[in-house]
């Protein structure tokens, strides 16, 4: 089966770069800063695949490049090098490197096939616009035009994410943190994305709220069979949600494999350190 999303050699350098660190970044033992020109390696030569309906975890310490990777896939930053292919037929013809397309085209692909949930709801939502309005905004970007259909879809999604429908016209600024995350999830799902990007979505939430958000994600994933990339530094979240996992350090992937293998038979030194640090 062909992968849904293929990423090859994705690199993001912050700085001018030089022959030592271009195009794929510096060797891993130099950390994530080029010793010659001081350029920072956000992502260095990252390659991954995700298949339809699969949940891929990305784990690593703060600053390892996990969020940068997700933002690059979401076309939020301009990559320094690399290729991204989406193999789903209609939205993007096969073999076309999406990173070489115009930003208009990228936004089009993004609004038709992707959804993203950020750690900080302020990044994913407009706090002064109603929750229903936030969802409507995404639907409009995906091409929906009929107002009553938009409203019905928004109400449907809010119910799914257990937000009381009576509060649909209230701005998320009035909601608790957990509710704000659930509005983000509703918004991210509104266009029936094939790939859902979850960037540290439960970090900072208290335990019972985290539990509820995770249960929601698990149930939605099973029901809708969406492919997901779950970024977290919480190994428990990764273990619960993901079948395969990538371990990142200094912007590179140091190990990848089935989640249970990563946790029980870690091969790389850094992975072993990470796993043995679990509480």
Q: What residues line the site for another protein (CB under 8 A)?
A: 1, 51, 54, 211, 215, 222, 240, 243-244, 257-258, 260-261, 264-265, 267-269, 272-273, 276
179 vs 241, beta carbon nearer another protein: 241
C-beta of 86: minimal distance to another protein in Å?
18
- Dist CA 95 CA 110 (whole Å): 17
C-beta of 206: minimal distance to another protein in Å?
15
C-beta of 23: minimal distance to another protein in Å?
28
3-class secondary-structure state, position 182: helix
- Where b means 16+ CB within 10 Å and e means fewer, 179-208 reads bbbbbbbbbbbbbebbbbbbbbbbeebeee
- Dist CA 253 CA 40 (whole Å): 16
174 vs 267, beta carbon nearer another protein: 267
C-beta of 186: minimal distance to another protein in Å?
21
152 vs 222, beta carbon nearer another protein: 222
- Dist CA 37 CA 272 (whole Å): 32
Q: Is residue 245 classed exposed, middle or buried when 0-12, 13-18 and 19+ CB atoms within 10 A define those classes?
A: buried
C-beta of 229: minimal distance to another protein in Å?
15
137 vs 162, beta carbon nearer another protein: 162
126 vs 222, beta carbon nearer another protein: 222
Asked whether the beta carbons of 201 and 56 are under 8 A apart, the reply is: no
Ramachandran quadrant class, 204 (left: phi over 0; alpha: psi -120 to 50; beta: rest): left
77 vs 218, beta carbon nearer another protein: 218
Strand 252-258 with 40-50, pairing: unpaired
C-beta of 3: minimal distance to another protein in Å?
9
* Alpha-helical regions (H) of 164-268: 177-189, 207-224, 235-241, 259-264
C-beta of 255: minimal distance to another protein in Å?
11
C-beta of 269: minimal distance to another protein in Å?
4
Structure-token match 């009576």, residue found: 166
3-class secondary-structure state, position 42: strand
80 vs 245, beta carbon nearer another protein: 245
Element (H, E) at 256: strand 252-258
88 vs 261, beta carbon nearer another protein: 261
- Dist CA 272 CA 41 (whole Å): 23
């Amino acid at each position: 089966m062909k992968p849904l999303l293929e990423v090859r050699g994705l690199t993001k350098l912050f700085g001018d770069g030089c022959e030592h660190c271009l195009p794929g970044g510096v060797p891993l033992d130099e950390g994530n800063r080029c010793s010659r020109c001081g350029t920072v390696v956000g992502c260095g030569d990252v390659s991954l695949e995700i298949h339809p309906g699969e949940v891929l975890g990305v784990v690593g310490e703060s600053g390892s490049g996990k969020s940068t990777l997700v933002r690059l896939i979401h076309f939020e930053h301009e990559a320094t090098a690399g290729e991204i292919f989406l193999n789903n037929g209609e939205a993007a013809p096969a073999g076309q490197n999406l990173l070489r397309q115009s930003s208009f085209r990228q936004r089009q692909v993004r609004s038709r096939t992707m959804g993203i949930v950020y750690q900080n709801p302020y990044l994913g939502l407009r706090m002064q616009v109603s929750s229903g309005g936030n969802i409507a905004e995404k639907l409009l970007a995906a091409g929906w035009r009929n107002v009553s259909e938009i409203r019905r879809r928004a109400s449907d999604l809010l119910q799914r994410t257990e937000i009381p429908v009576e509060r649909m016209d209230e701005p998320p600024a009035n909601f608790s943190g957990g509710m704000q995350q659930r509005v983000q999830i509703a918004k991210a799902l509104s266009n029936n994305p094939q790939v859902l990007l979850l960037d540290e979505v439960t970090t900072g939430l208290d335990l019972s709220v985290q539990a509820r958000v995770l249960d929601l994600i698990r149930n939605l994933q099973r029901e809708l069979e969406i492919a997901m990339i779950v970024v977290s530094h919480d190994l428990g979240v990764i273990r619960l949600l993901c079948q395969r996992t990538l371990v990142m350090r200094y912007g590179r992937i140091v190990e990848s494999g089935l989640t249970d293998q990563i946790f029980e038979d870690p091969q790389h030194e850094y992975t072993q350190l990470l796993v043995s640090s679990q509480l």
